[in-house]
């Protein structure tokens, strides 16, 4: 932004203010990618009117050609989290540093700040100090949004990100030297929130820091990459939407036809399986009848066998009893005949011989 050689007229200043106001209205609604250029225009309204008008013309052409806007996509199963991305450009013009922060709810960009208000109120002495100041500002803005979100959703998470390790370490670590003591004093409130567990501080690589879009001028490829990270998409044309709807309808019809074919095939398979099950049931019934007949025949044979076995056992028992009786009678008859024979064959002993034999037995 080169300054004017002559003092600008009131008409040019008012024209510049009008251009900047219109673009600023657009930036605050749906175009966070234009924050840095708008802030540069805003700071040169009274001293570089020619550069401001030229830049406004370029922005209008850029906005007309690309026409992207914010798209809000949300996963209902994802936990609600407030994410703040902060970055600062250390003293780009030899004075105040230029900062920017973006506040996301999960993946949806809700709140951003750069513009003329992005100029830090005090002159910082280092890159770490400028990024630390912007980190504190981002936490303040994210905290204001988190209060409203807490009333709607209940418990939420809070995360703040920076691309400088020094700023994150000053916020978290206890130690440090005398050069960073004043930074710890300045970051006391934010550091207390971190220690209480309400905020989480993290570091992200500079190439992925989305807040760079509001701190410096960028190449087109880099700007397109960060626009994707911010969730900015181009609105499709009517023809494209119509063709997409037709393609979706064709896909739906194909799916329906496919489902109908699948349903018909399933119905045919059901009929086939039903017929097979009926045939199997008939065969099973016949097999059961044959088994029942075989069981009945086997039961009859077993019944006859039991009768025969019973008769045999009864006959054997009667025969054994008869044989036992015959044997007992013969045994009773034999001792009587033998005793009579012995009595008949032995001579009658005298009384004297009996006495002698008794005396001999007693001596022995």
Predicted local distance difference test score (pLDDT) of residue 3: 83
On the question of pLDDT at 355 being above 60, the answer is no
Q: Are strands 157-162 and 98-105 parallel, antiparallel or unpaired?
A: unpaired
Catalogue all structural domains in the chain, each as residue range(s) with its CATH number: 1-66 (no CATH), 69-235 (3.30.420.10)
For the ranges 25-34, 154-163, 166-175, 277-286, the lowest mean pLDDT is seen at: 277-286
Confidence band (pLDDT; 50, 70, 90) for 182? low
On the question of pLDDT at 224 being above 50, the answer is yes
Instruction: Output the 3-class SS for the chain.
Output: CCCCCCCCCHHHHHHHHHHHHHHHHHHHHCCHHHHHHHHHHHHCCCCCHHHHHHHHHHHHHHHHHHCEEECCCCCCCCCCEEEEEEEEECCCCCCCCEEEEEEEECCEEEEEECCHHHECCCCCCCHHHHHHHHHHHHHHHHHHHHHHHHHHHCCCEEEEEECCHHHHHHHHCCCCCHHHHHHHHHCHHHHHHHHCCCCEEEECCHHHCHHHHHCCCCCHHHHHHHHHHCCEEECCCHHHHHHHHHHHHHHHHHHHHHHHHHHHHHHHHHHHHHHHHHHHHHHHHHHHHHHHHHHHHHHHHHHHHHHHHHHHHHHHHHHHHHHHHHHHHHHHHHHHHHHHHHHHHCCCCCHHHHHHHHHHHHHC
On the question of pLDDT at 131 being above 80, the answer is yes
Query: Span 69-84, mean pLDDT?
Result: 85
Confidence band (pLDDT; 50, 70, 90) for 323? confident
Instruction: Output the 3-class SS for 8-19.
Output: CCHHHHHHHHHH
For residues 162 and 257, the model is more confident at 162
Q: How far is CA 114 from CA 31, 33, 260, in A?
A: 12, 10, 57
On the question of pLDDT at 118 being above 70, the answer is no
Predicted local distance difference test score (pLDDT) of residue 341: 46
**φ/ψ bin of 67: left (φ > 0), alpha (ψ from -120 to 50), beta (otherwise):** left
Burial class from Cβ neighbours inside 10 Å (0-12, 13-18, 19+) for residue 120 reads buried
Task: Kindly list the strands in the beta sheet with 108-113, ordered across the sheet, starting from the edge strand earlier in the chain.
Answer: 108-113, 98-105, 81-89, 157-162, 200-203
| 227-278: pLDDT as tens digits | 788 878 776 665 666 676 777 777 777 666 666 666 666 666 776 777 667 6
For the ranges 69-83, 116-130, 251-265, the lowest mean pLDDT is seen at: 251-265
CA 96, CA 90: separation in Å to the nearest integer? 8
Predicted local distance difference test score (pLDDT) of residue 103: 92
| Highest-scoring range by mean pLDDT, 79-83, 179-183, 221-225 | 79-83
Query: Span 111-119, mean pLDDT?
Result: 71
Average pLDDT, the chain: 76
On the question of pLDDT at 321 being above 60, the answer is yes
| 87-110: pLDDT as tens digits | 888 877 777 888 889 999 988 888
Predicted local distance difference test score (pLDDT) of residue 81: 92
Query: Span 52-79, mean pLDDT?
Result: 78
Say if residues 234 and 30 touch (Cβ distance below 8 Å): no
On the question of pLDDT at 348 being above 70, the answer is no
On the question of pLDDT at 45 being above 80, the answer is yes
- Beta-bridge partner residues of 159: 83, 200
Predicted local distance difference test score (pLDDT) of residue 287: 67
Predicted local distance difference test score (pLDDT) of residue 115: 55
Confidence band (pLDDT; 50, 70, 90) for 346? very low
For residues 176 and 348, the model is more confident at 176
């Amino acid at each position: 932004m080169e300054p004017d050689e002559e003092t600008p007229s009131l008409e040019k200043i008012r024209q510049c203010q009008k251009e900047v106001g219109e673009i600023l209205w657009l930036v605050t609604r749906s175009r966070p990618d234009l924050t840095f250029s708008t802030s540069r225009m805003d700071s040169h309204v009274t001293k570089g009117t020619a550069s401001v008008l030229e830049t406004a013309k370029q922005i209008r052409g850029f906005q007309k050609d690309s026409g992207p806007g914010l798209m809000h996509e949300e996963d209902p199963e994802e936990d609600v989290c407030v994410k703040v991305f902060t970055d600062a450009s250390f003293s780009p013009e030899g004075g105040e540093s230029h900062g920017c922060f973006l506040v996301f709810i999960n993946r949806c960009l809700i709140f951003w700040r750069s513009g003329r208000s992005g100029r830090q109120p005090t002159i910082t002495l280092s890159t770490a100090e400028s990024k630390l100041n912007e980190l504190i500002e981002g936490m303040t803005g994210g905290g204001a949004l988190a209060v409203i979100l807490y009333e709607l959703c209940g418990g939420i998470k809070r995360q703040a990100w920076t691309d400088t390790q020094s700023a994150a370490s000053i916020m978290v670590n206890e130690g440090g030297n005398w050069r960073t003591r004043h930074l710890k004093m300045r970051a006391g409130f934010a550091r207390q929130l971190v220690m209480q567990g309400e905020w989480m501080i993290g570091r992200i690589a500079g190439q992925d820091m989305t807040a760079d879009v509001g701190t410096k001028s960028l190449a087109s490829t880099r700007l397109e990459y960060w626009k994707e990270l911010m969730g900015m998409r181009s609105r499709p044309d009517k023809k494209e939407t119509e063709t997409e709807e037709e393609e979706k309808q064709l896909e739906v019809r194909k799916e329906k036809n496919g489902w109908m074919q699948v349903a018909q095939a399933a119905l045919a398979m059901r009929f086939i399986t039903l017929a097979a099950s009926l045939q199997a049931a008939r065969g099973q019934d016949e097999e059961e009848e044959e088994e029942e007949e075989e069981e009945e025949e086997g039961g009859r044979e077993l019944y006859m066998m039991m009768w025969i076995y019973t008769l045999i056992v009864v006959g054997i028992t009667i025969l054994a009893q008869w044989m036992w009786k015959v044997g007992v009678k013969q045994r009773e008859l034999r001792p009587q005949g033998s005793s009579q024979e012995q009595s008949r064959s032995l001579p009658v002993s005298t009384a004297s011989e009996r006495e002698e034999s008794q005396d001999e037995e007693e001596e022995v």
